[in-house]
Structure 1
Amino acid sequence: MAYDILVPFSFKKNGIYYFERRVPKCLRKHYSTAKISYSLRTRSSTVAASRATKAAQQLDDYWYHLRIREVDLPGKHLLRLSHSANTASGGGASAVPAAPCVTLSEAVQVYLSLKGRGRPQTFQRAAERSCGYVIDVCGDKALTAYTKADANAFRDDLIQRGLTGSSITRVFGTVRAVVNFAASEAGIDFSNPFGRVYYDRTAGVEGRTSLPLDAVRCIQKQCRDADDDLRWLVALVSDTGMRLAEAAGVLKEDIRLDDPVPHVVIREHPWRRLKTASSTRKVPLVGEALWAARRVHECVRESEFAFPRYNKGGQTNANSASASLNKWLKACVQSKGTMHSFRHSLRDRLRAVECPADIVDQIGGWQTDGVGHAYGDGYPLDVLNRWLRAVADHQSKL
């Protein structure tokens, strides 16, 4: 029996991964054993990590339910209890309550049981948190019992909490999605009061900035000087315009250095979803991105991930990467910007060499407007490479 630190709550026996989790002492009375153990039915560490993480999450949710079942919690945040009970019982569409009686907490249960399958934990948390805010302010009512006055009171509470306009938009968007989906499943035909609520959508929102070229150069030089995995990640993003989560979640096999055009393949993985369908793409590696990719292949030996520190527990921890790298960026340059600013910068750098907009969109994984752009496979790698090389050449001449 061998333990694998890259696969949580598991051990390896005869090449097969097994899930193993000890039952907390306070919950032993509910079980006939002190340890839960079973085969994950795979020899792949990647698949095992995904399955083990999902199993551990389901246990954590259910154990949470057992712990709070007899506790009078403030805030009425009992949404996870409903979801856990449904998951534990294998509920699906049949778990939809009768139409007149669907409460908001039950709506969250329906939404997560049907739309939450295969989605990251952040998806569940967003639904629970956003609708939990509504329950705190307005109570856990039947969907048809909520009024426009409730929606306005909810908006006022979010403003008092100090949320920016963009954050309020996200919260309202989640609440609307939960209510609309559950109402549709239950056959309820009504006007959602959480739609078309007025608030200042620009309040507290700062426009995202593009790093100037001299700041990009300065950062790239410091990446070369430091020459560690964090700086390889920064350098990879700086000359590809990849989203940080996209770069942090790539496998070493996604970095194709032996091809005629060295490139990185950006595709969806169980541990890291992509933002949009157009995000699936291939991006040529030039300049500092090519240097970083080579350093990854030279130095990362014990993991299939290019950046293993951000891929533990079956999920890419892009938030951790963002926090640490943004902090480092602030200390590096005077210009205001974040890791996401590299995407803005690359678009400006491509504009500077008069790169066509649809090629820019394909490199960055942005959606290109127009029906015609959905036809075909897009531009070949050598064309994309030519424009990114033009960017590197233009930068070297300035």
Structure 2
Amino acid sequence: MHAFWRDGRRNKVTAVSVERESNVLKSMFSVYLSETDLGQENPFAGLRMPEKDSGAAAISKRSPLSVREIQAVRNQLLQSSREPEIPQIWDVLTMTGARLAEVKGLKMNDVYADDPIPYIRITPSDERGMKTAESVRWIPLYGIALRAVRAAVERNAHNDFLFGKQGRTSAGNVSAKIMKQFRKQIADPQKVTYSLRHSLVDEFRAHGVAREIAYPFSGHTSSDVAERVYGSRERQLSRTNDVVRPILEAYSYKIEFPSTL
């Protein structure tokens, strides 16, 4: 019966919503069964979410983009996009490792582009599809990402969203605009916008950057671990900046100037 419920709900809402609802129902049944002492198993215990599992597996198979591929897509977006925010979003994705839903939904009060260490603040928000509370982080900005953010601030100064109307539309809509130009340069189905995250992680690995240092970019290491090591977010930002700044400034330069390769 629980599988019937799952399949029926999946026809109406996303797999993530079904999982969230399932966890709520599982908790309710757990309390009820413990209080009534019926000796029955929780019908929602062990309920699998096949679509979510397969989606996670598909993401894990994404291949990183080379610097030349990042350059090619970037140039395609700059030349073909009618909306300047689209290549700006690409530049921020390239240099921050953030997810598309997180970046396109940035608000002006998430931007600290004129601070001694310029950064963006990723905070929980339904609009941005944040995965978990652990994804809250401050990401320093360098090179093309910093210039993209400052240009967007100037262009959309009277807008709540950093990237103007792109912030109000769905992540799927923005993704489609990027992928339309992306596929003109890269045909490999295992390479998508999400591949930028893999590329950045590979760059950090190549330079031996510790996971606790790279946490703000990937969000993969628990923020609790980072905070135990470095204390406040300000100290985390400062320590991360000390290590990654020369790496990412060089990375940005290679992307912006192909002749340097």
Identity of aligned residues (%): 24
The aligned amino acid for 1:326 is M
Change (3 A) 1:260 1:247: same
- How far is 1:244 from its partner? 0.8
Write the distance in 2 (CA, Å) between the matches of 1:303 and 1:171.
30
Write the distance in 2 (CA, Å) between the matches of 1:343 and 1:352.
14
The counterpart of 2:28, out of the listed 179, 182, 193, is 182
Pair 1:277-2:133 in alignment: yes
Equivalent residue for 2:92?
Answer: 236
Structure 1 contact 172–194 (Cα < 8 Å) conserved: no
Higher strand proportion: 1
- How far is 1:255 from its partner? 1.9
Write the distance in 2 (CA, Å) between the matches of 1:226 and 1:203.
30
Write the distance in 2 (CA, Å) between the matches of 1:326 and 1:203.
18
SS at match of 1:282: strand
The aligned amino acid for 1:339 is T
Write the distance in 2 (CA, Å) between the matches of 1:226 and 1:307.
18
Give the length in aligned residue pairs: 238
Write the distance in 2 (CA, Å) between the matches of 1:304 and 1:293.
14
Equivalent residue for 2:42?
Answer: 192
Aligned-pair Cα RMSD in Å: 3.7
* Structure with larger RCO (C-alpha < 8 A, sep 6+): 2
SS at match of 1:331: coil
Change (3 A) 1:211 1:388: farther
Structure 2: gaps of 5 or more residues:
255-259
Equivalent residue for 2:250?
Answer: 393
The counterpart of 1:323, out of the listed 172, 176, 199, is 176
- How far is 1:293 from its partner? 0.7
- How far is 1:331 from its partner? 2.1
Once the two structures are superposed, what CA deviation does each residue of 1:50-82 show, in whole Å capped at 9, x if it has no partner? xxxxxxxxxxxxxxxxxxxxxxxxxxxxxxxxx
SS at match of 2:121: strand
Change (3 A) 1:185 1:319: farther
SS at match of 1:332: coil
The aligned amino acid for 1:345 is S
Equivalent residue for 1:381?
Answer: 237
The counterpart of 2:9, out of the listed 123, 129, 137, is 129
Structure 1 contact 130–174 (Cα < 8 Å) conserved: no
Write the distance in 1 (CA, Å) between the matches of 2:117 and 2:55.
45
Change (3 A) 1:289 1:268: same
Equivalent residue for 2:205?
Answer: 351
Structure 1 contact 353–391 (Cα < 8 Å) conserved: no
The aligned amino acid for 1:208 is R
Pair 1:307-2:158 in alignment: no
Pair 1:247-2:103 in alignment: yes
For normalisation by structure 1, the TM-score amounts to: 0.50
Equivalent residue for 2:257?
Answer: none
* Residue pairs, 1:82-121, within 5 angstroms: none
Equivalent residue for 2:114?
Answer: 258
* Residue pairs, 1:221-232, within 5 angstroms: 221-226=75-80, 228-232=84-88
Change (3 A) 1:255 1:271: same
Write the distance in 1 (CA, Å) between the matches of 2:213 and 2:117.
17
Structure 2 contact 226–236 (Cα < 8 Å) conserved: no
- How far is 1:294 from its partner? 1.8
* Residue pairs, 1:59-74, within 5 angstroms: none
- How far is 1:348 from its partner? 0.7
Q: Which moved more, 1:180-189 or 1:209-218?
A: 180-189
Change (3 A) 1:194 1:327: farther
Pair 1:210-2:60 in alignment: no
Structure 1 contact 363–384 (Cα < 8 Å) conserved: no
Structure 1 contact 282–381 (Cα < 8 Å) conserved: yes
Equivalent residue for 1:364?
Answer: 218
Once the two structures are superposed, what CA deviation does each residue of 1:301-326 show, in whole Å capped at 9, x if it has no partner? 441211232344xxx62222223323
Change (3 A) 1:283 1:246: same
Structure 2 contact 139–237 (Cα < 8 Å) conserved: yes
- How far is 1:388 from its partner? 3.9
Specify the structure having the higher radius of gyration (Cα): 1
